[in-house]
Structure 1
Amino acid sequence: MARYPQNTFVDLIERDVIRIDGERHLLRYVLTLDNMESESEKTATVVHLHPMGAEQQYSDAMTNQMVRFLSKEDFQSISFVTLFPYHVPTATQLRELIVDPRLEEVMEKNRRFIHERLMNSDVFVLAWGDRPYYIPNRQFDEAFQYVMHLIQMWQKEKNVYVFRYSHAPSFTKNGQPDTPQKKVIEGILPIHT
């Protein structure tokens, strides 16, 4: 665990707890930080695969990297949403929740948060990477196609970006917007150039 970058603080966390077969699981739909150094009102949202370690008091290295970059670019509000809102410690648990048909309501609620952030962000950055082996093709495809459909339906293409990395492509070999894990963020690029 790491502390959030200086002069940023958690403004909002939309989260929930569900019980499945007697087991408690955490959900995180949205994490929003306030960059106190910014005098702008610019907003940015990053869409990644699933919640990482960032919470109210502590962050993680990849979240901090994105926060530092977006703060330097003078974004006042920085939000994170995910394709899958399950905040669990293992890939096996994540897979089980993703394929559980009883959790359709959870995914619908997650999609509403993605939609809301798309409509209210100046910059919407896609950064989820390739489908990991533990997420089934169908669920992965449905999740990222939902995001792409929203972007097209609301004609928000001009607000959608990917990170530009030093010495690494912005997209994976499979054409997905890559994550900043083990990369240096140098900028953002429009998704359609």
Structure 2
Amino acid sequence: MMRLFIGGAVLVALAGCGETRDGNKPTGEATAKAAPAGWNAMDACATVGTPAVAAAMGKAVTGTALDPVSQPDGLRAGFSMCTFTLADGAKLTVLTREAADGDAYDAAVAAARKIGEEFGSPAVDVAGIGKAAMWTARPAALQVFLDDRRYATISLFGADFMPDGSEAARSAATAIARKLAS
């Protein structure tokens, strides 16, 4: 339930990103930089990779599930979400998203900061990853704006991460985010 809420909140916050408003011209400056090799917002499972999750978490990954997937249509961003199940039953969910252009970056960062506030856990900036990154302990999640167009959320669920997250959870999420940013 929490995973769906967080995913839904992020998608609502970012819903307009990548949208064209006058029919032909993007409202923001298009980003010409190509995504790095291996980045595919439509397949968060493959983009992150089971070995990277196992290494970051220090636990075997026993399963993955890719859902939902929303294909980009030229006006709206595309995204997917992958849930990695760990050997101890904990779960790590990664949402990857790519917009057609970077028209709503500032508004999206501001909206992302509010998610933690709604849970009573203000976002804490995490330096050195992408254009902006923020950690919230409740829910245990790292939101990363890799550049003007690419975004990821890494959320952790399990007894070790609730109710207030942990430094181990933050460390693991940061390691995965660094892989996405490279």
When normalised by structure 1's length, the TM-score is 0.30
When normalised by structure 2's length, the TM-score is 0.31
Which structure features the higher share of strand residues? 1
